[in-house]
Amino acid sequence: MELPILPTSVIGSYPKPRWLLRMYKLRELGKIPEEDFKEAVRDASISVLREHERAGIDIPWDGEMGRSEMTEYFTSKIKGFKFYGPVRVWGNAYFNKAAAVDKLEYEEPLVLDEFLWVKENTTREIVKIPITGPYTIAEWSFNEYYPDKESFVMDLAEIINKELKVLEKHGAKFVQLDEPAMLNHPSEVPLAVDAINRAVKGIKMKVGLHVCYSNYNLLADYFDEIKVTQFALEFANRNFRDMDFLKKLSNKELGFGVVDVHNPRVESVEEIRQAIKKVFTYLEPEWVYINPDCGLKLLDRKIAYQKLVNMVQAVRGVRKELEKEGKTTIEFRTLKDI
Amino acid sequence: MIVPALIGSLPRPIGLAKKLEQYYIGRLDERKLEEAYREYTRRAFEKLRDAKIKVITDGLYRWDDIFNPFIRFIDGIEVNGLFKFYENNFFYRSPVVRGEIALKENPIPEWISIAQEIKEDVYPEATLKAVLPGPVTLAYHSINEYYKTLTDLAEAYAQVIGELIKELDVKIVELQEPSLAAEISEATKNIEDRVDKEVAKNIIEDLGRIKKLWVVTYFGTPQVLPEGVILNVDLIEGSVPEEYSGEIGLGIVDARTTKMERADRLRDKIRKYLAKFETIYVTPNTLLDFLPESVAWKKLRLLGRLGGE
């Protein structure tokens, strides 16, 4: 399978429509039937898919309309977690941080419904399914049950592995493990790597790994050991500083973050084009995908959309230049290819 | 004597967060927001009184993190990218130092005066500390594009903080200085430059001559030991340096886990310090912002039960 050179994608989340947020609220208050809530989520999912498609994104997702939050959503579906209440992440943003109080068990598919719905409703051949990785789920939870971090993380890796197998069986082609916390403790990076490799054991599809707001030098030492096809990283937030670690990346793709998701200023097409040209000093264009830094959900929806539109326009401009060099498409690489 | 004390922030209550959301989208005016701040501060002080916490802060309900909004009130600084605060799922906006820094007009003295008034009303016997980021921690968490060295930057921050301290209506100022124990998290960034430890000690001691300081360190054992201050040490992830003999605060309750400690075990832990220090302030080991609100208050009530011995 082939894709246009510099395939564009998203990292995962997207602003929820205001009416959907109201449905979440009504559901929390027990004021709407579950079926009505699910219908609202599915309608919003199609809206966002169409928005991604309209912006020109090659590999879209539905913006995680059915997920309350990236860790909370998963911990609420895995048996053995308990919730004590919200914890602040930044400014006025909170999430329900769970505590593991019993042995964790895979009881039901985590994102299969979402995938099937998106697959059924998109015009694109490939979608990207973001899944929070085992190390990050553990790191962003409290542990009251496991005697050590390793057993906590590895139980989660097995659970994620079960989910990936289910997704692959149902036709998934591209999953992204979100591991923003995997570099939190330099001494535990090998554990996070083991957990990721355990999570993808027996998987053949394309697997990306998203890490953000961290010291990427710690990740670069493990580029070769991590069994994924792509690293999707944030660069706009750090103003494209300190990119030298990319010299260590070979035979794996880079998902290059070109728009800042925590800044409402919409980057110009030219600015993004320049950023893309900068990454070519480290990697051949054939190994680069283009995406926002991270999930867009904290932005105003109009701003999020305009950032995607500008990102796609910048890519189209660069593609024209690459076309002159005869570079128009790339092969869709999977775990089988590395 | 054991004195239960609060350091830094309390978890911002969800009710207050909702008021802020309404304010951000223009559905609540500034006056109503101010009323909400005061009301939630009042409730916090009542709960601190009931929990028997003797030295308190205003909970930093007006702050997004320990640097913001303070850094918005400094000339020469732009507030930029989002960075992880040590290895927590908690982020801060970073100061980008683009020019010579100088204190701008700011509302912090007024916020402290408001908190003092509320405290006098609901919990007059408590001591209220004002909380500010320390100069060393500010330097380590900045992107320095102007000063020659990080040490120069820390000295410049100390000037600004010194000016502000003079204006605060409190007897004690708490400086959040985790960088004295853990310079910066390697998880977030690599840095080559370091703040000279002797300079760090001197600038904090100089600030301590303006007003009594409570210097809070966490995520490790303090590597800089300023004299004439109350030094707060994280006993969960660090220890009290043997050579330290000044006034002490002990972070003995873990603010990064929901698991509850046992009061008897905490008392055992404190006892060995009573031989060396006449007064021991017992505190959470770090910001309570890292816990759900209900658990944070449970931990504070536990701390309160340790007092008086």
Taking the CA of residue B302 as centre, how many other CA atoms within 13 Å lie in the half-sphere pointing to its CB? Answer: 23
A21, A81, A88, A135, best to mutate vs chain B, most B CBs in 10 Å: A88
* A212 marked as part of a ligand binding site: yes
**What domain range includes position A75?**
1-329
Q: What is the interface pTM, i.e. ipTM, of the complex? A: 0.92
Q: B89 CB near a chain A CB, below 8 Å?
A: yes
Q: Do B187 and A86 touch (CB under 8 A)?
A: no
Average pLDDT, chain A: 96
Six-digit token pair at A18? Answer: 């205001």
> Is residue B164 predicted with pLDDT exceeding 90?
yes
Percent of chain B residues topping a pLDDT of 90: 93
The CATH number linked to A56 is 3.20.20.210
Rounded percentage of chain B residues whose pLDDT exceeds 70:
100
Interface A–B counts its CB contacts (< 8 A) at 92
The side-by-side arrangement of strands in the sheet containing A78-90 is: A78-90, A93-106, A142-143
A70/B contact by beta carbon, under 8 A: no
What is the chain A residue with the closest CA to B60?
A: A91
Residue pLDDT, tens place only, B264-282: 999 999 999 999 999 999 9
| Residue pair A261/A296 in contact by the 8 Å Cβ criterion | yes
With beta carbons under 8 A apart, name residues in chain A contacting B257. Answer: 142-144
Q: Which residues fall within 8 angstroms of residue B225, CB to CB, at 6 or more apart?
A: B201, B231, B241, B243, B244, B246
Cβ-defined contact of B89 to A262 (cutoff 8 Å): no
CA-closest candidate to residue A24, choices A96, A104, A121: A96
| A303 found inside a domain | yes
A286: in domain: yes
Give A162-177 pLDDT, tens digit per residue: 999 999 999 999 999 9
pLDDT the model gives residue B283: 98
Evaluated on CA atoms A33, A38, A39, A43, the torsion sign reads positive
Residue B309 banded pLDDT, cuts 50, 70, 90: low
CB B232 within 8 A of CB B217: yes
pLDDT tens profile A36-69: 999 999 999 999 999 999 999 999 999 999 998 9
CA of A101: which chain B residue's CA is closest?
B259
User: Tell me: the pLDDT tens digits for B196-210?
Assistant: 999 999 999 999 999
pLDDT value, residue A225 = 97
Tell whether the model's pLDDT for residue B78 goes beyond 80: yes
Per-residue pLDDT tens digits of chain A, which is 338 residues long: 899 999 999 999 999 999 999 999 999 899 999 999 999 999 999 999 999 999 999 999 999 999 989 999 999 999 999 999 999 998 898 999 999 999 999 999 999 999 999 999 999 999 999 999 999 999 999 999 999 999 999 999 999 999 999 999 999 999 999 999 999 999 999 999 999 999 999 999 999 999 998 999 999 999 999 999 999 999 999 999 889 999 999 999 999 999 999 999 999 999 999 999 999 999 999 999 999 999 999 899 999 999 999 999 999 999 999 999 999 999 999 998 87
Among B88, B111, B103, B89, CA closest to B138:
B103
B11–A185: do the CB atoms touch at under 8 Å? no
> A88 vs B292: CB contact, 8 Å cut-off?
no
Q: Which pLDDT score is estimated for A197?
A: 98
Both tokens assigned to A57: 């994104």
CA torsion A160-A166-A170-A171 (nearest 10°) is 40
What is the reported pLDDT for B134?
98
Comparing alpha-carbon positions, the chain A residue that sits nearest to B190 is: A215
- CA distance to A129, A173, A288, per residue, from A53 (Å): 16, 18, 20
Q: At what angle do helices B14-24 and B30-50 cross, to 10 degrees?
A: 170
Per domain, the residue ranges of chain B are 1-303
Out of A97, A184, A238, name the one closest to residue B87 (CB): A184
Position B308 scores a pLDDT of 75
Local confidence band at B229 (pLDDT 50, 70, 90 cut-offs):
very high
pTM of this prediction? 0.90
Q: Which CATH class is domain B1-303?
A: alpha beta
Q: What is the helix (H) or strand (E) element at residue A1, kind and residue range? A: none
pLDDT of residue B84: 87
Residue A335 counted as domain residue: no
pLDDT at B80 over 90: no
A15 in Cβ contact with A301 (< 8 Å): yes
The number of distinct structural domains making up chain A is 1
DSSP annotation string for B184-250: S-TTT--------HHHHHHHHHHHHHHSEEEEE--SS--S---SSSEEEEETTT----TT--SEEEE
- Helix intervals (H) in chain A: 18-28, 34-55, 72-77, 112-121, 134-139, 149-169, 189-199, 216-220, 269-279, 301-323
From chain B residues 19-38, the ones with a CB under 8 A of any chain A CB are 20-21, 24
Contact present, A59 and A128 (Cβ < 8 Å) = yes
Cβ pair A275, A239 in contact under 8 A: no
Indicate yes or no: CB of A89 within 8 angstroms of CB of B92: no
Distance between CA atoms of A48 and A19, rounded to whole angstroms? 13
- Interface list for B 266-295 with A (CB within 8 A): 289-295
pLDDT of the residue at B57: 98
Structure confidence at residue B187 as a pLDDT band (50, 70, 90): confident
pLDDT score of B40 more than 80: yes
- 8 Å CB contact of A89 and B83: no
Q: Is A181 inside any structural domain?
A: yes
Half-sphere exposure of A178 (CA within 13 A, CB side): 20
Residues of A in contact with B89 (CB under 8 A): 87, 89, 95, 97, 139-140, 181
What pLDDT sits at residue B82? 82
pLDDT on residue B210: 98
Chain A hits for B81, Cβ within 8 Å: 237-239, 260, 262
